[in-house]
Copies of this chain bind each other. A is one copy, B any other.
Amino acid sequence: MTKRVIIATGGRLGKWASDLIRPDDVLIGADRGALFLVRNGFQPDIAVGDFDSVSPDEWEAVRSASARFVSCDPVMKDDTDTELAFRLALELAPDEIWIVGALGTRFDHSLANVHLLVQALEHGVACRLVDEYNLIRLTDRSIIVDDPEGRYPYVSLLPLTPTVTGLTLHGFQYPLDNHTVTMGRTLTMSNALSAPEGTVEIASGLLLVIQSRD
């Protein structure tokens, strides 16, 4: 049985996020993400953060509903609430971590959350950022892409390292063979599956695999 941790954090959240939570998920709420869980009838296994974005009433609602409550000093802490939640998730040795609410209007927060995929890869934990418009994963070798519910018609491949070599695609409308990807060229944008399942392989570097819709 797959052990999955869902981290809810303070970016864009909505019904799509509560819909993907299963009864056996471990739930971690970071700051306003914890409030989102509680307001939608979920009991966070862990609530973590400086909670500088919630009112005293909201703080109490989160504290009383959460099995474990980890409150941090906003001035002293060096890490974002999402990174704290992510490290607590890793300590649970899960098979998968899904982060919801990781993307929003502040690009620095969104990108820092995407960078957490590097830590997940180093720990050998499958990890994804999910929202209504995006499903973001990272690979250093190969990854299978599917979209059984037809949510995300586009597949874009973007390097997280300056260069990614040996990019080879199978099962895509625009195939590529042993292609070198460099940052700043957009050849690998908005591809699409041509089969129920596609494979993305690389020889070196780190590649973001972003499934999306308009």
| Contacts known (A158-B115, A210-B108); A80 close to B133, Cβ less than 8 A | no
List residues of chain B with CB within 8 A of the CB of A156: 108-109, 112
Number of A interface residues, CB 8 Å?
45
* Cross-interface CB contact of A111 among B12, B158, B185, cutoff 8 Å: B158
B115, A107: Cβ atoms closer than 8 Å? no
Of chain B, the residue at the smallest CB distance from A161 is B162
Of chain B, the residue at the smallest CB distance from A159 is B115
Cβ of A180 under 8 Å from chain B: no
A108, B187: Cβ atoms closer than 8 Å? no
| Contacts known (A80-B189, A189-B80); A116 close to B214, Cβ less than 8 A | no
Cβ of A186 under 8 Å from chain B: yes
| Contacts known (A108-B156, A161-B162); A186 close to B118, Cβ less than 8 A | no
Q: A108 to B103: give the CA distance in the assembly, Å.
A: 12
| Contacts known (A119-B184, A162-B161, A183-B160); A107 close to B79, Cβ less than 8 A | no
Cβ of A83 under 8 Å from chain B: yes
A-B contact pairs, 11 of them (CB 8 A): A79-B189, A83-B186, A106-B154, A106-B212, A106-B214, A107-B110, A107-B133, A107-B134, A108-B154, A108-B189, A111-B114
